[in-house]
């Protein structure tokens, strides 16, 4: 049977991505990841020295695709800054309606590792959230808004709060309500629509 062109490491990482996101990092065993990737456990450990290293790589692999998706949503939105910010939340709500949507993988992983603040995956999650906030502040500043960093921080708080609330209620209306609040903040600060 012909093998696909993906490297063994990529196949392991793809399997970890699917399983960790769907079931959580603690619920998924290394054996399950190896089986899903079609490799032996020994091969998995050749590419990733530990489950912790694999968890960290899982989050690292989600970083840039997530940031690029938010940038795409922002750029494609029509209207001014408030509409662009609101579009981020509307797109999140649309994603949340998909049956396989499980929330923010970075926040879920941080919650599972809450008693291990020095864990490398927690640090990767924190770096991702920081990069998102910096990108958002730059996008806001490019739209000529004052206090872009402060506004970005407020929007991030609304977004992460919406992610958390969604995990509890499973209702995308919370993300939409957070988007309404974020757009209102933007309009209040910029005096524009």
Both 91 and 35 in one domain: the answer is no
Is the model's pLDDT at 87 over the cut of 70? Answer: yes
Is the model's pLDDT at 183 over the cut of 70? Answer: yes
Residue 172 lies in a domain: yes
Both 73 and 44 in one domain: the answer is no
The parent domain of residue 152 ranges over 58-190
Both 80 and 107 in one domain: the answer is yes
Give me the pLDDT at residue 193, please: 42
**pTM recorded for the entire structure:** 0.90
Both 71 and 93 in one domain: the answer is yes
Give me the pLDDT at residue 32, please: 98
Is the model's pLDDT at 88 over the cut of 60? Answer: yes
Distance between CA atoms of 93 and 173, rounded to whole angstroms?
Answer: 7
Residue 139 lies in a domain: yes
In this structure, what CATH number is given to the domain that contains residue 109?
A: 1.10.357.10
Residue 100 lies in a domain: yes
Chain-wide mean pLDDT for the chain? 93
Q: Work out how many domains the chain is built from and give that number.
A: 2
Inter-helix orientation angle 81-96/51-76, to 10°: 130
């Amino acid at each position: 049977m012909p093998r696909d062109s993906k490297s063994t490491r990529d196949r392991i990482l793809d399997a970890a991505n699917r399983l960790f996101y769907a079931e959580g990092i603690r619920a998924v065993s290394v054996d399950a990841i190896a089986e899903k990737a079609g490799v032996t456990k020994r091969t998995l450990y050749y590419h990733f020295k530990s489950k912790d290293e694999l968890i960290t790589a899982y989050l690292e692999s989600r970083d840039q695709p997530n940031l690029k998706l938010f940038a795409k949503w922002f750029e494609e939105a029509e209207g001014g800054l408030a509409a662009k910010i609101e579009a981020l939340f509307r797109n999140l709500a649309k994603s949340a309606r998909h049956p396989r949507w499980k929330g923010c993988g970075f926040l879920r992983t941080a919650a599972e590792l809450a008693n291990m603040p020095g864990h490398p995956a927690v640090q990767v999650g924190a770096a991702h959230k920081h990069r998102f906030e910096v990108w958002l502040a730059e996008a806001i500043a490019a739209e000529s808004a004052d206090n872009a960093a402060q506004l970005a921080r407020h929007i991030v708080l609304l977004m992460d709060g919406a992610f958390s609330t969604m995990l509890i209620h499973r209702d995308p209306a919370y993300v939409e309500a957070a988007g309404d609040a974020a757009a209102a903040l933007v309009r209040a600060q910029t005096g524009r629509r």
